[in-house]
Amino acid sequence: MFRQIAEFFTFLEEHEIQNLQQIEQNHIHAFYQKQKERSSKNNGRPLSNSTVNGYLRNLRLLSQYLQETGQGFLEVDIPNQPKIVAEKEILTQNEIKQLYQVTGETLTGLRDRAILSIYYGCGLRSNEGIHLNVNDVLLEKGLLYVRKGKGKKEHFVLMSSAYRRAFFIVHRPVVPWCPV
């Protein structure tokens, strides 16, 4: 919230607006249009409708704060953009079983099965799995450390014993008596 409001104030300064009384409806519309047309700093794509709506929500909250504290009022008359939900293809249980079956018993197949187990068993997003390191798998605690989750947030995910076993088979120490 603070970052988006700070961007709004920076925008106002760039347009030589020094106090709240100088803000007009066209300034709010111009700021909104700028957000709709700019690219994301994270991925270079245009901002999503949800992100642009976040800017509108925060401008409305700012207006509410200004009104409640007697400092003025900003009329934010721009309607929210419709949320675009990408249709996701969800694999059936049979399709997931087929993925596991084609992995095979080779070292590469076991590795692939461990990767599948981590992604599906722990419910990871693709980007979360890409940034995993072997050290992020805490087998003894049954946890998976996700260092780059959604919004670049860190968190832990529980691993079931079946998924821990799949990972352990691939990364077990090379000793003849090591149990599987």
For residue 79, tell me if it sits in a domain: no
Domain extent at residue 46: 2-68
pTM summary value: 0.52
Residues 57 and 125 in one domain: no
pLDDT at position 85 over 90: no
Work out the pLDDT band at 33, boundaries 50, 70, 90: very high
Look at residue 174 in the predicted model and tell me its pLDDT. Answer: 42
Q: How many domains does the chain have?
A: 2
Own/partner long-range contacts of 5-12 (Cβ < 8 Å, ≥24 apart): 5/58, 5/59, 5/62, 7/55, 8/55, 8/58, 8/59, 8/62
Own/partner long-range contacts of 130-133 (Cβ < 8 Å, ≥24 apart): none
Domain closes at, from 68, 102, 125: 68
Residues 9 and 52 in one domain: yes
